[in-house]
Structure 1
Amino acid sequence: MAASGATTGLARVAQLGEGAAFWRMVGAAVAYVPAIWVVTGLAVALFGLLPRLATALAWTAVGLLLLVTMFAESFDWPAWIGDLSPIAWVPTMPLEAWAAGPTVGLLAVAAVLLGIGFGGLRRRDLALA
């Protein structure tokens, strides 16, 4: 995400000639990292708890999150459906200011999901070959 933000920032600096645009774009890209960790945590939790179904369920979840993120507003779905996506909780930087609350909340959800997943892995009888 930092590399993506840096590339976008360099393009903005080349276009506008404004050096501060670089760091705004890097910050905007890095702001999405906690949301990505939530999706990663969901995949780890699924793998820890339901190893045989984890791949299919994780990709289904990614597809549903993509559907909700991209189309919930245009399909006029209730707001709570749009709020199911972790990306909905990330401020639209640089238009909106960064907020600690959603970031901390997303990190907490990611930590819980990772804990569930790693706890599920510890329960399984895995042997090193």
Structure 2
Amino acid sequence: MNSSTLIINGNAIDKTKVLKFINADKKLLAIKLVREQAQIGLKEAKDIVEKLEIDPETEIDDSMLTTTKREFEDSAIENRQRQSRKGSHIIESNSTNKKNIIIVVLLLTIGILMYFYFSSKSIVN
């Protein structure tokens, strides 16, 4: 194995790229890179990046993984489904808020018109 390549979960990851993010104080980008390319969970990716931060020459292997590739894919599908449900709820809520604002504006307009109508009648009498 090339020392600049990590093999995690059967996927090759450029170790120099990960270390470059770590050295540039962009640890979150390093975690994201490891997580996406290795198709592992957030905790595992964080643990790997932290081990590389402490000792860049450390050997990383699959024994430190608790999430399998299949579990990672299943959780990604669940997250997308959850987000799509949230999205439809937010859109529905926004349209309801718009309707409520329109109703309030119409009621205020009617109230103001009635005020002027009755106040003009009292001036004529």
Higher strand share: 2
Larger radius of gyration: 2
TM-score, with length taken from structure 2: 0.29
Superposition TM-score, scaled by structure 1 size = 0.28
Structure with greater contact order relative to length (CA < 8 Å, sep ≥ 6): 1
